[in-house]
Structure formats: C-alpha cells, structure tokens
C-alpha cells in the first residue's frame, strides 16, 4: 500500500464522515415531523436499489451476490442494521445530534469487549483498560448525580450495542462471504425488514420535505460509496480513526442548525470515549501486524 493511496483513503474517509453527518442532520429534521419508520423505509429502498445496481455489475451478477455461506446470519445483519438505524434516528429526535453521537461513539469499545466471547478473539489488558476508560467517559456524559438522567439516554446506548453486534456479525460472515455478498444482503434484508413498519406508519410528505428525503437517500448512497472506495485504496486500520471526524461535524451541525449546546461534561466525556476508541483501533492494528509477521 503506497503512501499516496493511504492519503487518498484518509481523504475519502473524512468525506464519508462529513456526508454521514449531513445525513444524520437530515434524518433528525425529517424524523421530527414524520414517522421514523417511514423515513428509514424510504432510505432503505434507495439503499436496496443501490446494492442491486452494484451486484448487477459484479461478475456473476445478482445470483453471485445472493450466494452466501451464512444466509441466516446475513439476514440477521440486515434486520439489526434496519432496526439500529430506527433506534438512532429516534435518539436524534429525543436527545439531539450531539448527545446521541457522543454516547454512540462507544460502539467500537463494545465491539472490542464482545469480540472475545462471541468471536473467540483475544482481548488483552490494554484494550480492556481502554474499554473501561471509554465507559467512564459515558458516565461523565450522562452525569449521574448531577442531574436527572433522561431515559432517552438509553436509546443511543441500545443503538451502539446493536451496531456493535452488527459489526461482529459482519466480521464473522467475512470468513466465508465476499464483501459484495455481505453488502448486498445488508441492503436487501434491511429493506424487507423495515418496509412493513414504514407502510403502516405512512403519512403524506410536503414537496419540500420530499426534496430533503431525496437528498437523504442520495447522501446515504454517496456515503457508502465513499466508504467502499476508502477501504479499497487504503488499509482499514489506517483510515478508520478518521471516522471519528463525524462527531466534530455533528457538533457543528447540532449547534448551528438545531440550537444544541455543548455541555462541558459532554465534551470531556466524548473526548475520553474517542481517545479510548482510537487506542483500541491502534492496538488492533499492532495485533494484526504481529499476526502477519508470525
């Protein structure tokens, strides 16, 4: 991997973070006036169309994309992803963008903590220390004793847990399925899962909000495309830390357009969580290098 490709991967991942932040801002705007199920359903329809388009262009076409060694796990991934997005968008509406993302950023720590019992991976004391520090950051964000903790604060924690399980299932199926197969199943299974709920909660949308909805769908496709390209031109361990830029972009959006505030405990707690997550990613990169050397 050349330095030029790594730099390109970092740029693409940074752009991915910006696009996903804008997507979350639009999701909050639409989720305030319309059913979260409806918004996520339309978004998944666009996602499903995108994965069908990509699969048709791959060798073997859609038939090759459907063939999986783990069809039940692939379906479970799609169901988890669709429901997790609903949970997180609901958190945007109830808590706001900034606080939701500050709590949600603990999901890499959950992945590290669960990778041992679920995937049999070794988690050393350094990563366990980082995991403990990360959850200390979550406690600082929630500020128990300093104020009444909103029950809505549990929503992004639930979303983080669901997304961590989704990530672990993705790691597991990667042992036997190609990334194109995994991506295809996520879009199709997610769309099939969420569509009945979206249709049950359907309501008329104003022309202006249809423009926002179209922008949301396009940003979802663009974000996934940029992420795929970033991971194609550079190692995941090199570009993944730049996904945390999304928290900075979210802070700008939340404060500027939604009137949210950056409480000191939220900033300090989020910094601890991000720092612990970056350390965990760094340790995983070191471990991967050691395994390749061995």
- Cα angle 64, 40, 24 (rounded to 5 degrees) comes to 105
**Total Cβ atoms within 10 A of residue 285:** 16
Tens of pLDDT along 41-67?
999 999 999 999 999 998 889 999 999
Q: Is the pLDDT of residue 286 over 80?
A: no
The mean per-residue pLDDT over the stretch 12-25 comes to 94
The mean per-residue pLDDT over the stretch 176-191 comes to 92
Burial 222-252 (b: 16+ CB within 10 A, else e): bbbebbbbbbebbeeebbbbbbbbbbebbbe
Q: Is the pLDDT of residue 225 over 90?
A: no
- Model pLDDT, residue 219: 93
**Can you give the pTM of this predicted structure?**
0.89
For residues 222 and 230, the answer to whether their CB atoms sit within 8 Å is no
| Nearest alpha carbon to residue 174 among 187, 165, 161, 183 | 183
- The mean predicted confidence, pLDDT, of the chain is 89
The mean per-residue pLDDT over the stretch 182-195 comes to 95
Q: Report the C-alpha gap between 21 and 222 in whole angstroms.
A: 12
Long-range contacts of 249-254 (CB under 8 A, 24+ apart): 249/17, 249/18, 249/21, 249/22, 250/21, 250/24, 250/25, 250/97, 250/98, 250/101, 251/98, 253/21, 253/22, 253/24, 253/25, 253/97, 254/25, 254/96, 254/97, 254/98
Q: Is the pLDDT of residue 86 over 70?
A: yes
Q: Is the pLDDT of residue 105 over 60?
A: yes
23-32, 129-138, 156-165, 235-244: which has the minimum mean pLDDT? 235-244
The CA–CA distances, whole Å, from 172 to 73, 151, 178, 271 equal 9, 33, 12, 30
Sign of CA dihedral 51, 55, 57, 62: negative
If you ran DSSP here, which 8-state letter would residue 147 be given?
Answer: B
Higher confidence at residue 181 or residue 151?
181
- Model pLDDT, residue 2: 43
Domain parsing of the chain, residue ranges: 3-293
7-11, 19-23, 81-85: which has the minimum mean pLDDT? 7-11
Q: Is the pLDDT of residue 4 over 70?
A: no
3-17, 72-86, 255-269: which has the minimum mean pLDDT? 3-17
Q: Model confidence at 40, in pLDDT bands (50, 70, 90)?
A: very high
Q: Is the pLDDT of residue 165 over 70?
A: yes
Q: Report the C-alpha gap between 224 and 285 in whole angstroms.
A: 23
Tens of pLDDT along 246-277?
999 999 999 999 999 888 988 999 999 999 88
User: Mean pLDDT: which of 109-123, 138-152, 221-235, 260-274 is highest?
Assistant: 260-274
**Total Cβ atoms within 10 A of residue 262:** 14
Please state, for a pLDDT cut of 90, what percent of the chain lies above it. 57
């Amino acid at each position: 991997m050349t330095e030029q490709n790594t730099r390109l991967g970092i740029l693409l991942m940074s752009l991915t973070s910006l696009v996903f932040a804008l997507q979350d801002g639009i999701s909050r705007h639409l989720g305030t006036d319309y059913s979260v199920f409806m918004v996520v359903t339309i978004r998944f329809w666009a996602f499903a169309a995108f994965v069908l388009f990509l699969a048709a262009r791959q060798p073997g076409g859609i038939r090759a994309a459907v063939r999986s060694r783990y069809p039940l796990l692939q379906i479970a991934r799609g169901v988890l992803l669709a429901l997790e997005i609903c949970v997180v968008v609901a958190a945007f509406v109830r808590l706001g963008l900034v606080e939701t993302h500050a709590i949600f950023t603990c999901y890499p720590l959950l992945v590290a903590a669960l990778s041992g019992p679920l995937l049999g991976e070794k988690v050393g004391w350094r990563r366990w220390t980082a995991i403990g520090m990360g959850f200390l950051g979550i406690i600082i964000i929630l500020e128990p004793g300093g104020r009444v903790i909103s029950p809505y604060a549990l929503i992004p924690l639930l979303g983080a847990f669901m997304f961590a399980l989704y990530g672990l299932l993705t790691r597991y199926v990667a042992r036997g399925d190609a990334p194109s197969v995994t991506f295809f199943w996520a879009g199709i299974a997610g769309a099939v899962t969420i569509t009945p709920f979206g249709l049950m909660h359907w309501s008329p949308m104003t022309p202006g909000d249809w423009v926002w909805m179209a922008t949301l769908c396009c940003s979802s496709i663009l974000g996934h495309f940029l992420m795929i390209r970033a991971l194609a031109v550079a190692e995941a361990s090199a570009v993944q830390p730049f996904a945390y830029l999304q928290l900075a972009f979210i802070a700008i959006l939340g404060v500027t357009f939604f009137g949210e505030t950056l409480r000191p405990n939220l900033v300090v707690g989020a910094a601890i969580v991000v720092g612990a997550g970056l350390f965990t990613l760094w340790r995983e990169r070191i471990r991967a290098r050691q395994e390749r050397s061995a």
